[in-house]
A and B are shown apart, each in its own frame.
Chain A
Amino acid sequence: MLQRLPAATLNKTGAFSAAHASPLRTAQRFGSQARFASSSTASPNPFQSLVYSRATLASATLLATGSIAWYTHLYGNLPFIGEVHASSPGEVGLHPAAYPWSHKGWLDSFDHASIRRGFTVYKEVCAACHSLDRIAWRNLVGVSHTADEVKVMAEEVEYTDGPNDQGEMFQRPGKLSDYLPRPYPNDEAARASNQGALPPDLSLIIKARHGGADYLFSLLTGYVDPPAGVEVREGMNYNPYFPGGAISMPRVLFDDLVEYDDGTPATTSQMAKDLTTFLSWAAEPEHDERKKIGIKAVILFSTLTALSIYVKRFKWAVIKNRKIVYNPPADKTH
């Protein structure tokens, strides 16, 4: 560093530091001063006096302590400092494995045969406790069932409608436009029948839980005996994937619980997989159309990007390649 500086620079900085010897500066080694030589000036400049002022020091200290205090107040712990917790990872639930869902890839549509099987499982098992409020019968048409099949299923359910011209409510068989029936008239009834635990609506459950489809599959297939030393209260069940480990929902899927109309063997994991695919569809019915539009958008926009890059380079080629030559005017005084 020093070798590469001309000798005059060293002289200058030497003179400078002698002239303006502040306690701060004399403490520094000579070499580091030479490095900042170019930014020093002979007279005290307003920027420097601002930076070195006591007011600046005080306000910077205040800002630092203030923001740490504010952070601590807001989040309850100090920033950038790890903490030791008494809770175990088990209390936030086991991380589910990543499963190769048939709709996982960028170009993959839902497996509609699986959606259909999953609806069978929902209807015969989960619908006893869980509602699916955001799905109407008509939503199944052209996705997993024909209109005729759905009409028959809807008609099996009684809906309250009205009022009629006497001002009375009446019962009628379901129509395509009706929403799937709820197992309980309201949440309080649902809690009362499930030891105080509310079975959540499943319409958006895939989006509403960390891990989404992987979590649901793991939860449904993850019931095991509690490990030694873990106490599970009466009426609760142990499931390592559920945060806290103790869940009010018992294991509900067992081999051959339902019969699939396409002849697929209804093992526990098959049912859990189909049900998860069905609920993934319920949470995101636009999924297939979205990905298809995505393909189009990516093709079109990448073509347009390539085109615009080409045009830019083409237009700038003249400017980037030009050579500027300066011919000084001839000196006529000599």
Chain B
Amino acid sequence: MSLSTTFYNTFVKRNSVYVTSIFAGAFAFGIGFDVGVSKLWDSWNRGKQWKDIRHNYVQGAGEDEVVHKGP
């Protein structure tokens, strides 16, 4: 059985499976893409962002502060 036939039989044959896998795929891609771009952003801007310098200014173990992302 060729790859495309396997693909067709697993995902496309039943509409319920087809639609579900598209939705799940979009969800997974969304998260994965976000994580990937954030990694790139954080490594490019290492040491410049607030989360990189915040530890210099928080006093004690009081980690109850909410970190806002800008106004």
Give the contacting residue for A109; candidates B49, B58, B59; CB below 8 A. B49
- Which residue from chain A places its CB closest to the CB of B52 in the assembled complex? A112
Question: Is there a chain A Cβ closer than 8 Å to B25's Cβ?
Answer: no
- A107 touching B68, Cβ below 8 Å: no
Give the contacting residue for A111; candidates B34, B41, B48, B57; CB below 8 A. B48
- Which residue from chain A places its CB closest to the CB of B57 in the assembled complex? A146
A window 135-187: CB within 8 A of B:
136, 138-139, 141-149
- The stretch of A58-66, A207-215, A251-259, A288-296 that contacts the partner chain: A288-296
Residues of A within 8 A of B57 (CB): 145-146, 149
Question: Is there a chain A Cβ closer than 8 Å to B6's Cβ?
Answer: no
- B49 touching A288, Cβ below 8 Å: yes
- B71 touching A138, Cβ below 8 Å: yes
Give Cα distance in the complex from A138 to B58, angstroms. Answer: 16
Give Cα distance in the complex from A63 to B53, angstroms. Answer: 66
- Chain B 30-44, CB-CB to A under 8 Å as 1, else 0, gives 000110011011001
- Which residue from chain A places its CB closest to the CB of B34 in the assembled complex? A296
Q: How far is the CB of B39 from the nearest CB of chain A, in Å?
A: 11
- A292 touching B41, Cβ below 8 Å: yes
- A288 touching B70, Cβ below 8 Å: yes
- Which residue from chain B places its CB closest to the CB of A149 in the assembled complex? B57
- A112 touching B49, Cβ below 8 Å: yes
- Which residue from chain B places its CB closest to the CB of A290 in the assembled complex? B70
Q: How far is the CB of B27 from the nearest CB of chain A, in Å?
A: 16
Give the contacting residue for B71; candidates A285, A292, A300; CB below 8 A. A285
Residues of A within 8 A of B37 (CB): 292, 295-296, 299
Q: A113 and B48 in contact (CB under 8 A), knowing A142-B67, A142-B69, A288-B70? A: yes
- Which residue from chain A places its CB closest to the CB of B42 in the assembled complex? A109
Residues of B within 8 A of A285 (CB): 70-71
Question: Is there a chain B Cβ closer than 8 Å to A102's Cβ?
Answer: yes
Question: Is there a chain A Cβ closer than 8 Å to B24's Cβ?
Answer: no
- A142 touching B68, Cβ below 8 Å: yes
Question: Is there a chain B Cβ closer than 8 Å to A110's Cβ?
Answer: yes
Residues of B within 8 A of A110 (CB): 48
- B48 touching A102, Cβ below 8 Å: yes
A window 74-133: CB within 8 A of B:
102, 107-113, 116
Give Cα distance in the complex from A183 to B51, angstroms. Answer: 32
Give Cα distance in the complex from A295 to B42, angstroms. Answer: 13
Q: How far is the CB of B63 from the nearest CB of chain A, in Å?
A: 11
- B53 touching A295, Cβ below 8 Å: no
- B65 touching A109, Cβ below 8 Å: no
Give Cα distance in the complex from A108 to B53, angstroms. Answer: 16
Question: Is there a chain A Cβ closer than 8 Å to B9's Cβ?
Answer: no
A residues in contact (CB < 8 Å) with B: 102, 107-113, 116, 136, 138-139, 141-149, 262, 285-286, 288-289, 292, 295-296, 299-300
Pick 28 A–B contacts, CB within 8 A, sort by A: A107-B45, A109-B49, A110-B48, A112-B49, A112-B52, A113-B48, A138-B68, A138-B71, A139-B71, A142-B50, A142-B67, A142-B68, A143-B68, A146-B54, A146-B65, A147-B65, A147-B66, A148-B59, A148-B65, A149-B57, A262-B56, A285-B70, A285-B71, A288-B70, A295-B37, A296-B33, A296-B37, A299-B33
Of all A-B residue pairs in the complex, the 5 with the closest CB atoms, nearest first, are: A142-B68, A109-B45, A139-B71, A112-B50, A142-B67
